[in-house]
Amino acid sequence: MSKKTDSSVLGKRKTLAALFRAMDTHTSDDITRQHLAGVCVRLLDDAVRFESTDGHALLRVTVPGTWFVVDDAASLAPAAGTYAAQEATARLALGDAPTPLADPGYWPHTDQIIPHETAAPGAACGFDPTLLGGLLDTIEKIAVAFGCSRRGVVRLQLGQGALDPCRLDRHLYAGHVDHVTIVGVVMPMRL
């Protein structure tokens, strides 16, 4: 590999490590939710999707598959599975590929709980401001990891009913990314 490729690989490993670190703040440490104690990686047709949740807030980052390509033969895309974020971060820092702990089949089907994008206004409901703030902070950390400004637009959307989750979207086009989509979801408070 050339020096340019080496620096590209190093930069992308640092970005992936920062992504795992940021997403680790939204994993479960509840002993009854051990299947949520990591970051799930799913391989899509043209992208790689990262998801983490503690059962109250959900974070999804979708990165184009082309971002992981280093040269004609190599790719930095991790294998599908659920990863311990701290171990994945450490392995990436050492130049190793992270190893999944579990098959992604144990991960919840998050498409069922993420509200669809819509322009219709939602009903009034209550959300924990700590969860919203934490999720917004994590979204911005991920944007910075991909070389974007912390001052980006985050779209907030409420569902149609008072018990629907809140959706946060941020699309990254700047920095060293083609198009990364970050979706956060916060479940409403039980009043």
pLDDT of residue 89: 84
Q: Tell me the C-alpha distance between 60 and 79, whole Å.
A: 17
Residues of the chain above pLDDT 90, percent: 5
pLDDT for 142-164, tens place per residue?
A: 888 888 876 778 888 877 776 78
pLDDT above 60 (res 182): yes
Q: Which domain, by its residues, includes 150? A: 3-106+113-186
Output 71 or 113, whichever has higher pLDDT: 113
The answer to whether 91 touches 97, Cβ cutoff 8 Å, is: yes
What CATH code is carried by the domain that includes residue 131? 3.10.150
Output 43 or 5, whichever has higher pLDDT: 43
Q: Specify the 3-state DSSP secondary structure of 56.
A: coil
pLDDT of residue 50: 92
pLDDT for 86-101, tens place per residue?
A: 888 888 887 788 888 7
Torsion sign across C-alpha atoms 143, 10, 62, 102: negative
The answer to whether 188 touches 126, Cβ cutoff 8 Å, is: yes
pLDDT above 60 (res 1): no
- Mean pLDDT of all residues belonging to the chain: 81
Q: Is residue 124 part of a domain?
A: yes
Residue whose entry in the numeric block shows the structure tokens 């039980």: 190
pLDDT of residue 60: 92
Q: Specify the 3-state DSSP secondary structure of 18.
A: helix
Structure token pair of residue 63: 């990165």
Output 40 or 37, whichever has higher pLDDT: 40
pLDDT above 70 (res 120): no
pLDDT of residue 61: 93
Number of domains in the chain: 1
Q: Is residue 191 part of a domain?
A: no
pLDDT of residue 118: 60
Average pLDDT over residues 109-133: 74
pLDDT of residue 110: 83
